[in-house]
Amino acid sequence: MKKNLIFNPDGNDTLEARAIIKGNTTGLFNLNTVRYPWAKAMYQLMIGNFWVPEKVGGLGEDAIMYRSLSAHEQRAYRGMLSFLIFLDSIQTVNLPNFSNYITSPEVNLLLSIQSYQEAIHSQSYATILETVVEARERDEIYYFWQIDEVLKKRNEYIGEIYQAFQDDPSEKNFFRALIGNFLLESLYFYNGFAFFDNLVYASKMTATGRMISYIRRDELTHVVLFTNIIKEIRREFPHIYDEKVVVAMFKVAVDQEIIWSDHIIGDGIPGITKKTTSLYTQWLANARLEMFGIAPLFPEATINPYKHLESMADNNSEKTNFFESTVTNYTQSSSMNGSWDF
């Protein structure tokens, strides 16, 4: 695959010539005509979700409450934050690599917004750490993967997929990177989210949980964004789409997610057990695969064991169609209904 040119005088930006990848764009963001109507709806939603961590109050109370958590809860709190920090960090770095090959300006615009949101998430974790934990613990949390082999193995798996795409941008590596991104956004975060929701359900660390709920709201839009990108590639370039790769990568991701969550949470926290972790991860994987019309990998996992925690996430429950729900969480701007009025 060839990178997009910064400026291509011989490009063709007409609607008929556009493609999700491998188009011949001039490099100009012509947003008065769009080939992918879903991008307009997503733009309005993502812009409307603007927030900044400084506006989220109550972390000082969490700092006091953190000291009253059990040693097991504190370890899980630190470990889950470490993994989430890695995920958003690698997303911020890698998303421009996708933009180099996406030739739809309206979709590239969404990727730019996503990059900004991932940076906000990184700032959010820094704000949590700065307020809640002692200074001596912060670097330990950021670099926990250096001493924890389970976390290091997880980080290496997704890091190697992204690095392979950057080093060798073949169609195969591009597709694997897309699926890796989808797995990261749609599966890897969610046992961590469930852990923080579980604390809030027990009236613990409520400000951290509020921050996490805003992050989850953003991540769900990223799930929908990459679902649409992958579906468009399947429609326009069916030879690139490989369902066997999707299924194989999902199997690895589910296994890693369960191993990691059992390692960092296990059975030591009320409301979460190894059994619920396994069932939830498998149930969620089935729901994500359904977004591509792929049969469940785990037909026995039909129930969300954390259904009672959905109220912690407001309307951000794991719906296969995000636009079925109306986001009611904190926002700082309107949805900019006048934008992209074609």
Local confidence pLDDT in tens for the 342 residues of the chain: 999 999 999 999 999 999 999 999 999 988 888 999 999 899 999 999 999 998 898 999 999 999 999 999 999 999 999 999 999 999 999 999 999 999 999 999 999 999 999 999 999 999 999 999 999 999 999 999 999 999 999 999 999 999 999 999 999 999 999 999 999 999 999 999 999 999 999 999 999 999 999 999 999 999 999 999 999 999 999 999 999 999 999 999 999 999 999 999 999 899 999 999 999 999 999 999 999 999 999 999 999 999 999 877 654 443 434 433 333 333 343 333 334 443
Question: What pLDDT score does 310 carry?
Answer: 83
Neighbour-count burial for 90-106, b at 16+ CB within 10 Å, e otherwise: bbbebbebbbebbbbbb
Q: Which amino acid is at 2?
A: K
Q: What are phi and psi of 169, to 5 degrees?
A: -75, 60
Beta bridge mates, 21:
102
Cβ count within 10 A of residue 189: 24
**What's the token pair of residue 317?**
């429950």
> DSSP of 90-129, one letter per residue?
HHHHHHHHHHTTB--HHHHHHHHHHHHHHHHHHHHHHHHH
Give the span between the Cα atoms of 125 and 51, in whole angstroms: 14
| Nearest alpha carbon to residue 257 among 49, 4, 80, 60 | 80
Considering the domain 58-319, what is its CATH architecture?
Orthogonal Bundle (1.10)
What does the pLDDT look like over 39-86, one tens digit per residue?
989 999 999 999 999 889 899 999 999 999 999 999 999 999 999 999
125 is catalytic: yes
Report the Cα 2 to chain-centroid distance in Å. Answer: 26
Give the span between the Cα atoms of 124 and 117, in whole angstroms: 10
Cβ count within 10 A of residue 331: 15
What does the pLDDT look like over 123-145, one tens digit per residue?
999 999 999 999 999 999 999 99
Q: What are phi and psi of 269, to 5 degrees?
A: -125, 125
Cβ-contact 90, 158 below 8 angstroms: yes
> Residues 125, 162, 190, 214: which is the catalytic one?
125
pTM, two decimals, is 0.91
| Nearest alpha carbon to residue 214 among 44, 22, 104, 52 | 52
